[in-house]
């Protein structure tokens, strides 16, 4: 018995210490990044860092010297000086000079950061609990690309039931794709609480404030995938709303953009077709896992009282109309938000049907995406 | 006690203080600072007006339009529409952007439609980037000046008329005007209830 | 004028403390109240520390192991609130209660009855705050900075109790500060000028003014929240013409001076301890006073440096950057003065001195990272990352908290009449010193590498340093139980302390016997002003 316990302990300990996740290189310093601004910021950081190191070495050096030489155990007698106007003036003026010298490049960088004019591409970035919505603005509404980007890491990895892969918590389903060497302006806003859009490699961090739009910009010089995270506490899933930007050559960007535009058209068409219940259930499970399970949990039990259970109670086994209504429009004053702008009609139909027929909620009812579409477009 | 009084007196003489009076003074400071906290609210609005903080635009522009259009300059004005959480309306600008000459009066519209099966009151909140441009955007008519109401399934076109000030700095070539729609049905019904009482 | 004091002294002037629990409930004695404050603060320190250990345990490894994100957010929020308002601030008020009257030769605080009230509000306030954790929907989960609309529209129902708790803490702090100011301005020993006061008294005088200036603003901001939540106003909601950014401006108008409220008395403590153990006068007494006053003044005009990424016009951003950088000057003067005090002294390294030296070094590291944060463009990369967490923990833990521990070791023999166990004290110091640095130094690295703060789970590249940091946190946390043991052991007995206790100690508190009698300086006779400040 005792031995078994010890064995368990050892297993636990070894599990604790052995990496149960993919190895990732760690760094100790700020990234230099891939924009002119981020490099300026990095060099400012390094300058001020070395200034601090020098000050630190001088001050601590004198202290340590003093601690070594001026100890009572060495039989020294304490001196009795207790002020020196000259010294005090010197160590007031020297810091002022250092600060003035630091302020000059800082001012220049900051001024450059604020100049978002002449952008080639405007992307609206909208924070919502707890994902990002991106809209590539275009004068032709048909060509506008809009999508939601949310965390890809499955909850099994988060809850340690599966091995954590590379880019754990830093992967999204839809990346933001931008061309290199083009000035991209980000128009950052939020629809609920304050978030902050941060990509360290661009030195772009801007708060997303509900009701107001702030701008920031970047000219990325190297193709690559750049990852960031929300940087302002925005509620329960604050740690789980990453940002991924893929910078590519112009041609590849255009190809991607056209692909996205066609995808949107295809969604428009799928909404029109006739769906079977099985198809909706399959699609519904996928949508539920991606969107709803964060709060209502994979088993539909929720986390009452904040996130009610959907199993055998409430709207999921009640009126379908009200059920659809709450998914479309949310419930004021709760975490249940409106999904009409995040999900298309097919996805909403699918998730509603899934919730009404999964986990033993055998309602057996049915609705077609085009009916939802009609409700969304004012038919109802 | 007498010693104590002497002790206190001597030092109070040097400082010219009296506990009751100084407590009174300090309480005045406390009350004053509490009020100051609230005074920061209007003060902040003034600062916003002056600096364009958060891109807040001014109230209705009522001055006579005396500026003549500057045909040599073109400023692109971009319209963004957003819904705050729980706001189900469809909300989009008639056009994404227009090019205007500073000084001229322009008009555009925004389309809204209420897909929900209840009447909803909405308030649009404007915000301009870059902030500095906010002071040069004069709106003579805007749906954001008033609350908007749509019954279930209703739709409408909401007008916006504005002038870009011809004084707008040369380096501003594009400005973005964003509107966020908030559902204020609960808020207004609450206020009405108060009025009824 | 002294009727307030007279009332009280008529009653119990000539006898000692009352017996039993009622002594503590009704006491108006500054020493008793100081003791109450210090024990209360220590309990809150353990509670807030427990919350910190929950946070560090969850962050020991990537993945969610121990708590859910919802609860994690409550832990970060409560840890911050309890440490700031429950541990650090009451500890300094406790020290002020014990020491200010003894340092200026006053018989007691000027307003003893109010002194009792201002302490006894606190247990109610914090019981209310802590009980929110058990309420439906959980406790406050919006960070100790409680930014709207997360703390208004999106807050759990318990936010109302949080608001009342903050109001109570505010009232307590305001009453405490009024008492300190009135005491210092009215009850100094005859002939003692302001520039003869020990630096601890000076820093507390300035702190008290800061408190009465900004605690009402905090009360104002939570009142606005309350109105937004329950009475349909829209101070912080764009929907009704308000602005969530306004919240941050008002909050930081309180919040930045608050930061100095938590460090200025620490400067005072260190300025008392270093001269004692170097057996040399404090270098640049006058410039220390002026530096403290300028820091206090500057603290009112730099608040928006907490908001560089929020979005301000360029001119605003530049102004707040310059003003913030300026704070480095008076702060530098203080550090240089302490170093100059040590220079050519005859130092010994008893526990209080060890804590004080660690304070100077580690606070300076925190100050230097603060200088880095002041550079607005760089702050775009630092803001809301663990770099900021490392920065403010360096100024608060080995800053404020080390100074409080230094103060306890330094004055404990005066309070109890017994010497604490020096070996145990030094052991406690080294455990804390190592613990603090192992906990917080790696956080600089994970912050620069890009880990946001207030997240319950993190990407894999942050794993190694987080594990190190968590181990340090447990070492530091459990060392504090050892601290409690040392203090209790000292209260129960030990080598009797002399009146002066430390060879190099100067100041009026060292002229009375150890333990300090229940009533000291009831008459101004025999107060030797030469002893007033070292």
Q: Output the domain CATH number for residue A210.
A: 2.60.40.420
Give the dihedral sign, CA A100/A102/A108/A112.
negative
Q: Given CB atoms, is C105 within the 8 Å cutoff of chain B?
A: yes
Provide the 10 A C-beta neighbour count for residue C76. Answer: 24
A104 at C interface, C-beta within 8 A = no
Tally the residues of chain C.
534
* Cross-chain Cβ contact A24/C141 below 8 Å: no
Q: C391 catalytic, yes or no? A: no
With a cut of 80, say whether residue A14 has pLDDT above it: no
Q: What integer pLDDT is reported at residue C533 of this predicted model? A: 62
Residues A130, A257: one domain?
Answer: yes
Q: Is residue A29 part of a domain?
A: no
Question: Nearest CB to A215: which of B82, B130, B180?
Answer: B130
C106–chain B nearest CA distance, Å:
8
Mutate which: B80, B97, B108, B125, vs A, most A CBs within 10 A: B80
The minimal CB distance from B131 to the residues C224, C246, C313 is found for C313
- Locate the chain A residue with the closest alpha carbon to C65: A159
Task: Specify whether A246 is located in the same domain as A195.
Answer: yes
Q: Share the mean pLDDT of chain B.
A: 80
User: Measured between beta carbons, which residues in chain B are less than 8 angstroms from residue C311?
Assistant: 54, 131
Contact B8 C5 (CB under 8 A): yes
B174 and B81, same structural domain? yes
- Best C378, C466, C471 member to test A by mutation, with max A CBs in 10 Å, is C378
Q: Which residue of A has its CA nearest to C229?
A: A333
| Paired residues of B119 in beta bridges | none
CA-nearest of B32, C346, C456, B113 to A169 is: C456
> What is the reported pLDDT for B144?
87
Q: Does the N-terminal peptide bond of residue A130 adopt cis geometry, omega within 30 degrees of 0?
A: yes
Q: Is residue A82 part of a domain?
A: yes
Q: Same domain for B28 and B89?
A: no
- Which residues does chain B have within 8 Å of residue C194's beta carbon, measured at their own beta carbons? 15
How close C136 gets to chain A, by Cα (Å)?
Answer: 7
Q: Is residue A345 part of a domain?
A: yes
Q: Which helix (DSSP H) or strand (DSSP E) does residue A87 occupy?
A: helix A85-113
Tell me: the pLDDT tens digits for B44-93? Answer: 888 887 777 777 777 777 666 666 777 888 999 999 999 888 788 889 99
**Pair B21, B41 in one domain:** yes
Give domain C3-8+29-531's CATH number out of 3.90.550.10, 1.20.210.10, 1.10.10.10, 1.20.80.30.
1.20.210.10
The verdict on A257 and A126 lying in the same domain is yes
pLDDT at C204: 97
Identify all chain A residues contacting B178, using CB atoms and an 8 Å cutoff.
187, 189, 212-213
Sign, Cα dihedral of B178, B181, B187, B191 = positive
Listed in order, strand segments (DSSP E) in C272-387 are none
Mean pLDDT of chain A: 87
Half-sphere exposure at residue C367, Cβ-oriented, CA atoms within 13 angstroms: 26
Query: pLDDT at residue A188 above 50?
Result: yes
Name the pairing type of β-strands A183-190 and A121-128. Answer: parallel
In this prediction, residue B16 carries a pLDDT of: 46
Is A213 in CB contact (< 8 Å) with chain C?
no
Domain end (from A82, A113, A144): A113
Measured CA to CA, the distance from residue C233 to residue C225 in angstroms comes to 9
A31: enclosing H helix or E strand: none
The answer on B110 and B37 residing in a single domain is no
CA distances from A213 to A102, A125, C297 (A): 31, 9, 34
Do B30 and B81 have their domain in common? no
Q: CA of C424: how far to CAs of C353, C430, C455, C526, in Å?
A: 15, 10, 37, 37
Structural domains in chain B (count): 2
First to last CA, chain C: 31
List C24, C117, C120, C144, catalytic entry: C144
Q: Are residues A250 and A298 in the same domain?
A: no
Segment A220-227 shows an average pLDDT of 95
pLDDT, position A21: 55
Domain match, A253 and A152 both:
yes
Interface touch A212/B54, C-beta < 8 Å:
yes
- Whether the pLDDT of residue A122 is over 70: the answer is yes
Final residue of a structural domain among A113, A134, A162: A113
H or E segment at B88?
A: none
Contact C186 B8 (CB under 8 A): yes
Residues A176 and A193 in one domain: yes
User: In angstroms, rounded to a whole number, what is the distance separating the alpha carbons of residues A307 and A303?
Assistant: 5
Per-residue pLDDT, averaged over A301-314, amounts to 84
Domain of residue B21: give its range: 2-49
Active site residue C172: yes
Burial class (CB in 10 A: 0-12, 13-18, 19+), A101: exposed
Give yes or no for a contact between A91 and C332, defined as CB atoms under 8 angstroms apart.
Answer: yes
Nearest residue in C to B26, CA atom? C178
A377 in contact with B at a CB cutoff of 8 Å? Answer: yes
- With CA atoms as reference, report the closest residue to C380 among A239, A203, A168: A203
Handedness of CA C217, C222, C223, C228 (dihedral sign): positive
Residue A223 shares a structural domain with residue A356 = no
- Verify whether the Cβ–Cβ distance A232 to C278 is below 8 Å: no
Q: In 3D, which of A184, A72, A85 has the Cα closest to residue A125?
A: A184
CB A102 within 8 A of CB C375: yes
Residue B103, pLDDT > 70, answer yes
Contact C239 B10 (CB under 8 A): no
Candidates C450, C458, C463, partner chain A, best to mutate (most A CBs within 10 A): C450
Are A259 and A125 found together in one domain? yes
- CA-wise closest residue to B90 among B69, B66, B111, B72: B111
Long-range Cβ contacts of C22-25 (<8 Å, 24+ apart): C25/C120
Q: What is the pLDDT of residue B115?
A: 78
Alpha helices, DSSP H only, in A200-343?
250-272, 277-287, 293-296, 320-329
Q: How many CA atoms lie within 13 A of A50 on its CB side?
A: 6
Asked whether residue B26 falls in the same domain as residue B67, the answer is no
Residue with tokens 């609206």: A124
Cβ contact, residue pair A187, B129, below 8 Å:
yes
Would residue A127 be called left, alpha or beta, if left means φ above 0 and alpha means ψ between -120 and 50 degrees?
A: beta
Question: Both A148 and A281 in a single domain?
Answer: no
Window 192-251 of C, Cβ < 8 Å to B: 192-194, 212-221, 223-224, 232, 234-235, 237-240, 243, 245-246, 249-250
Q: Given C183, C331, C341, C400, which residue is catalytic?
A: C331
Mean pLDDT for each consecutive 10-residue tract of chain C (534 residues)?
A: 42 64 91 96 97 96 93 96 96 97 94 94 96 92 93 92 96 96 92 93 97 96 94 88 91 95 97 95 94 95 93 90 94 95 94 97 96 95 96 96 97 96 96 96 94 94 93 96 96 93 92 92 79 63
Task: Judge: C311–A209 Cβ closer than 8 Å, yes or no.
Answer: yes
Q: What is the pLDDT of residue A11?
A: 52
- CATH number of the domain encompassing residue A94: 1.10.287.90
Q: Return the SS3 of C165.
A: helix
C68 interfacial to chain B (CB closer than 8 Å) = no
Does residue A282 sit in the same domain as residue A214?
Answer: no
Q: Which pLDDT value is given to residue B55?
A: 73
Clarify whether residues A236 and A214 are in a common domain. Answer: yes
* Statement: residue B1 has pLDDT above 60: no
Q: Which of residues 112-171 of C touch B (CB under 8 A)?
A: none
Residue of A55, A207, A212, A333 best to disrupt the C interface, most CBs of C under 10 A: A207
Residue B80, min C-alpha distance to chain A (Å): 9
Contacts of A93 (CB under 8 A, 6+ apart): none
CB distance B83–A139 less than 8 Å? Answer: no
The reported pLDDT for the residue numbered B39 is: 93
Determine how many CB atoms are found less than 10 A away from the CB of residue A192: 23
pTM of structure: 0.87
A-B CB pairs within 8 A amount to: 115
Which residue of A132, A139, A378 to mutate against B (max B Cβ within 10 Å)?
A378
**Is B84 in Cβ contact with C174 (below 8 Å)?**
no
Interface of A with C in 349-378 (CB under 8 A): none
- A138 near B CB under 8 A: yes
Q: Is residue A91 part of a domain?
A: yes
Domain boundary, last residue among A113, A143, A164: A113
Q: Over the Cα atoms of chain A, what is R_g?
A: 28
3-class DSSP assignment, residue A118: coil
C305 flagged as catalytic = yes
Residue B147, pLDDT above cutoff 60: yes
Task: Give the residue numbers spanning the domain of A103.
Answer: 36-113
Residue A99 lies in a domain: yes
**Is the CB of A211 less than 8 angstroms away from the CB of B125?**
yes
> C-chain residues within 8 Å CB-CB of A234?
150
Contact check, Cβ <8 Å, A30/C381: yes
Residue B8 binned pLDDT confidence (cut-offs 50, 70, 90): very low
Degrees, nearest 5: CA angle B33-B39-B44: 125
Cross-chain CB nearest to A45 (options C284, C357, C378): C378
Give exposure, A157-191, as e/b (b: 16+ Cβ within 10 Å): bbebeeebeebbbbbbebbbbbbbeebbbbbbbbb
Structure tokens at A241: 């709303």
Active site residue C514: no
- A240–C448 CB contact, under 8 Å: no
pLDDT for C469: 96
Do B12 and B72 lie in one domain? The reply is no
Please give the share of chain A, as a percent, with pLDDT higher than 70.
Answer: 92
**β-pair type (B174-183, A204-208):** unpaired
Q: Rounded to an integer, what is the distance from CA A86 to the centroid of its chain?
A: 53
Hey, which residues 229-248 in chain C have their CB within 8 Å of chain A? 238-239, 243-245
Question: pLDDT class for A4, splitting at 50, 70, 90?
Answer: very low
Given C8, C188, C256, C414, which residue is catalytic?
C256
- Cβ atoms within 10 Å of A89's Cβ, excluding its own: 11
Q: Quick one: pLDDT at residue A303?
A: 84
C321-348 CB burial, b ≥16 within 10 A, e <16? bbbbbbbbbbbbbbbbbbbbbbbbbbbb
Residue A129 belongs to some domain of the structure: yes
Q: Is residue A231 located within the same domain as residue A346?
A: no
What integer pLDDT is reported at residue C4 of this predicted model? Answer: 44
User: Which residues fall within 8 angstroms of residue B137, CB to CB, at 6 or more apart?
Assistant: B57, B128, B162, B164, B165, B175, B177
Q: How many residues does chain B have?
A: 197
The answer to whether C10 is a known catalytic residue is no
CB contact at 8 A, C435 and C471: no
Structural domains in chain A (count): 3
Question: What is the rounded CA–CA span in Å between residue C509 and residue C200?
Answer: 12
**Which phi and psi (to 5°) does residue A189 adopt?**
-150, 180
C79 tagged catalytic:
yes
């Amino acid at each position: 018995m005792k031995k078994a316990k010890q064995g368990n302990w050892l297993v636990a300990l070894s599990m604790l210490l052995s990496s149960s996740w993919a190895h990732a290189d760690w760094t100790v310093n700020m990234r230099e990044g891939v924009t002119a601004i981020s490099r300026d910021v990095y060099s400012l950081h390094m300058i001020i860092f070395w200034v601090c190191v020098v000050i630190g070495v001088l001050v601590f050096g004198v202290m340590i010297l003093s601690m070594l030489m001026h100890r009572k155990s060495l039989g020294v007698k304490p001196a009795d000086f207790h002020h020196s106007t000259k010294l005090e003036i010197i160590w007031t003026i020297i810091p002022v000079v250092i600060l003035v010298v630091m302020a000059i490049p800082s001012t220049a960088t900051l001024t450059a950061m604020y100049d978002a004019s002449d952008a080639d591409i405007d992307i609206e970035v909208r924070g919502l609990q707890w994902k990002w919505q991106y809209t590539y603005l275009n004068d032709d509404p048909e060509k506008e690309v809009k999508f939601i980007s949310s965390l890809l890491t499955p909850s099994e990895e988060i809850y340690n039931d599966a091995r954590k892969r590379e880019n754990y918590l830093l992967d999204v389903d839809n990346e933001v794709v931008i061309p290199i060497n083009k000035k991209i302006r980000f128009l950052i806003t939020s629809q609920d609480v304050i978030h902050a859009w941060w990509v360290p490699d661009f030195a772009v961090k801007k708060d997303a404030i509900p009701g107001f739009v702030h701008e920031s910009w970047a000219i990325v010089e190297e193709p690559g995938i750049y990852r960031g995270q929300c940087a302002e506490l925005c509620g329960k899933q604050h740690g789980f709303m990453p940002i991924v930007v893929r910078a590519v050559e112009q041609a590849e960007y255009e190809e991607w953009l056209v692909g996205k535009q066609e995808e949107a058209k295809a969604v428009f068409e799928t909404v029109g077709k006739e769906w079977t219940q099985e198809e909706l259930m399959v699609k519904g499970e996928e949508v539920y896992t991606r969107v709803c399970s964060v709060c209502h949990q994979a088993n539909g039990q929720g986390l009452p009282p904040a996130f009610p259970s959907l199993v055998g109670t409430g709207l999921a086994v009640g009126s379908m109309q009200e059920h659809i209504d709450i998914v479309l429009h949310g419930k004021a004053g709760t975490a249940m938000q409106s999904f009409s702008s995040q999900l298309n009609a097919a996805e909403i139909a699918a998730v509603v049907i899934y919730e009404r027929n999964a986990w033993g909620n055998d309602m057996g009812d049915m609705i077609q995406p085009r009916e939802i579409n009609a409700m969304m477009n004012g038919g109802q | 006690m007498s010693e104590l009084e002497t002790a206190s007196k001597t030092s109070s003489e040097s400082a010219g203080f009296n506990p009751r009076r100084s407590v009174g003074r300090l309480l005045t400071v406390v009350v004053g600072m509490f009020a100051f906290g609230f005074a920061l609210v209007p003060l902040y609005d003034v600062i916003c007006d002056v600096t364009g903080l958060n891109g807040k635009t001014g109230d209705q522009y009522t001055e006579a339009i005396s500026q003549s259009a500057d045909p040599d300059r073109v400023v692109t004005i971009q319209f963004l529409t957003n819904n705050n959480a729980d706001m189900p309306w469809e909300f989009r600008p008639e056009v994404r952007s227009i090019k205007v000459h500073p000084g001229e009066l322009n008009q555009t519209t925004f389309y809204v439609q209420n897909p929900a099966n209840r009447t909803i009151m909405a308030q649009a909140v404007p915000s301009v980037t870059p902030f500095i441009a906010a002071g040069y955007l004069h709106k003579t008519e805007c749906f954001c000046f008033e609350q908007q109401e749509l019954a279930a399934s209703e739709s409408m076109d909401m007008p916006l008329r504005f002038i870009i000030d011809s004084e707008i700095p040369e380096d501003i070539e594009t400005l973005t005007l964003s509107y966020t729609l908030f559902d204020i049905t609960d808020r207004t019904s609450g206020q009405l209830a108060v009025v009824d009482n | 004028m002294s009727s307030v004091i007279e009332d009280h002294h008529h009653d119990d002037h000539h006898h000692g403390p009352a017996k039993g629990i009622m002594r503590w409930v009704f006491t108006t004695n500054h020493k008793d109240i100081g003791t109450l404050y210090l024990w209360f603060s220590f309990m809150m320190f353990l509670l807030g520390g427990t919350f910190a250990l929950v946070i560090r345990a969850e962050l020991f490894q990537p993945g969610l192991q121990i708590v859910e994100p919802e609860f994690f957010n409550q832990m970060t929020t409560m840890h911050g609130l309890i440490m700031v308002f429950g541990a650090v601030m009451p500890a300094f008020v406790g020290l002020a209660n014990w020491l200010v009257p003894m340092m200026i030769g006053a018989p007691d605080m000027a307003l003893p009855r109010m002194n009792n009230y201002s302490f006894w509000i606190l247990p109610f306030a914090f019981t209310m705050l802590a009980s929110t954790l058990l309420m439906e929907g959980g406790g406050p989960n919006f960070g100790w900075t409680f930014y709207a609309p997360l703390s208004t529209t999106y807050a759990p129902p318990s936010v109302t109790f949080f608001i009342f708790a903050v109001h109570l803490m505010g009232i307590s702090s305001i009453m405490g500060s009024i008492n300190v100011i009135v005491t210092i301005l009215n009850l100094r020993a005859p002939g003692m000028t302001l520039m003869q006061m020990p630096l601890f008294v000076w820093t507390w005088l300035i702190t008290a003014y800061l408190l009465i200036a900004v605690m009402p603003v905090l009360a104002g901001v939570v009142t606005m929240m309350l109105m937004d939540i329950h009475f349909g106003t829209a101070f912080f909601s764009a929907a009704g013409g308000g602005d969530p950014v306004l919240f941050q401006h008002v909050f930081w108008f309180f919040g930045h001076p608050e930061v100095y409220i938590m460090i200025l008395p620490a400067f005072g403590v260190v300025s008392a301890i270093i001269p004692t153990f170097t057996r040399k006068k404090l270098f640049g007494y006058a410039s220390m006073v002026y530096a403290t006053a300028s820091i206090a003044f500057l603290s009112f005009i730099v608040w928006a440096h907490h908001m560089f990424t929020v979005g301000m016009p360029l001119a605003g951003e530049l102004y707040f950057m310059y003003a913030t950088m300026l704070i480095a000057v008076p702060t530098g003067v203080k550090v240089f003065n302490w170093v100059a005090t040590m220079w050519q002294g005859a130092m010994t390294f008893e526990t209080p001195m060890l804590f004080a030296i660690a304070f100077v070094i580690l606070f300076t590291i925190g100050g230097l990272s603060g200088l880095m944060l002041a550079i607005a463009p760089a702050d775009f990369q630092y803001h809301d990352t663990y770099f900021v967490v490392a920065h403010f923990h360096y100024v608060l833990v080995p800053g404020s908290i080390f100074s409080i521990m230094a103060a306890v070791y330094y004055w404990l023999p005066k309070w109890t009449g017994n010497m604490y166990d020096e070996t145990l004290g030094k052991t406690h110091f080294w455990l804390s010193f190592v613990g603090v640095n192992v906990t917080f130094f790696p956080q600089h690295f994970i912050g620069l590498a890009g880990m946001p703060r207030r997240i319950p789970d993190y990407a894999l590249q942050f794993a190694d340093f987080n594990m190190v940091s968590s181990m340090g946190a447990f070492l530091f946390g459990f060392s504090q139980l050892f601290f409690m043991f040392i203090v209790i052991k000292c209260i129960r007995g030990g080598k009797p302390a002399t009146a002066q206790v430390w060879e190099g100690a100067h100041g009026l508190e060292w002229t009375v016997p150890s333990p300090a009698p229940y009533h000291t300086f009831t008459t101004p006779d025999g107060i030797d002003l030469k002893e007033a400040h070292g």
